[in-house]
Structure 1
């Protein structure tokens, strides 16, 4: 094996941490090169990628309403494998991952990959700082690294057959259109961090209070603001947050497929 490529879309950093830990476990166990492709950056999502049967791809992404995020659909279909082994890491906010793994597997299989491992991991919910607060934590990252080591054992033993994951076809309906925008309090210092972190580049760098249409409500701006000046106050989001903070506070653990 020549390379381990860790590819992720990670607006709030959770998917990147998990995918990185898995890939690190593989690359250390197999003593091979590790490369990173961050699809959170718009210009990176626009590129085409092709991998060989000597590579392994670790793909990390957040779960949006039980699905692969819509913003990733076209970019992932530009990623091509040539009998390339792949590992999926879907990160959800302690509610459910539903069809996010099986959809990710289908997309990569259509692109020429064989998904030999997959995991559903937990990250702090994008709509709340209370639901799965601080996750992935040390236990999650250690689990992800061990998972990578288990993947390396499969590779060493040439166990490259595709696996079965949980999920349904047809997939559940996507999240309904919610054309809401984050708001900004007077605490804003114009530091511009939110604009830098926005994966859609809809926040104005010269005035972070101005947000154009195209926001995907990923909460990267909310989570990254050092003075808590960004927030999402749309009534549907507030209701979802209340539901999550009422029903989904118990700790869930990663679910792995090998």
Structure 2
């Protein structure tokens, strides 16, 4: 049996070690059968080592008192990220967030699938690609509404994401999802500016070249991809580095 573990984190704010909950849901595959959700799911509260900010508390409603006696992240994470029997990959919606905390040392160097990036590729006709919008635009088969609630708690969110991942894996190969996840997001439409909402092939050359120099890597990659489709080389990178070199 091949297993992918979907991960979702809730945090105390923006610190480097401030996870306050981790949730997971496994998606598995037996030879000759479709991918499916396994019964392996759960959540563990984590002591973030600092107070939870009111801003984040208002999203997930986890209280300081609830995590005061919980384990610290470095102690709890390895057993969840590296379960017995191993995983073919870890997955999350907008996985770059989870990867900030689930470092290679904690996750055993596992590969990651980003279901947001894969949704852009597989379902570009949809109007929005957030986890919950995908849930209600797609209405995945077998998703039990109550298990996916409350939103913005780790296990329910992982459960919802796992339904998207299951359907993705039944449309495309694991290798393809990993390849898409390793690249920036390929946006189906220009997300801002005068050309907002237009498919990339509807943009003129000049607006497209301008967006190919955008600071956002997903916008830049999407515009560059269309330029390459037209047989035109992408413009030379002109975005300044975040920090200048001191001479």
Q: Taking structure 2 as the reference length, what is the TM-score of the superposition?
A: 0.31
- Structure holding more strand per residue: 1
Q: Which has the higher contact order (CA 8 A, sep 6+)?
A: 1
Q: Taking structure 1 as the reference length, what is the TM-score of the superposition?
A: 0.30
Which is greater in Rg?
2
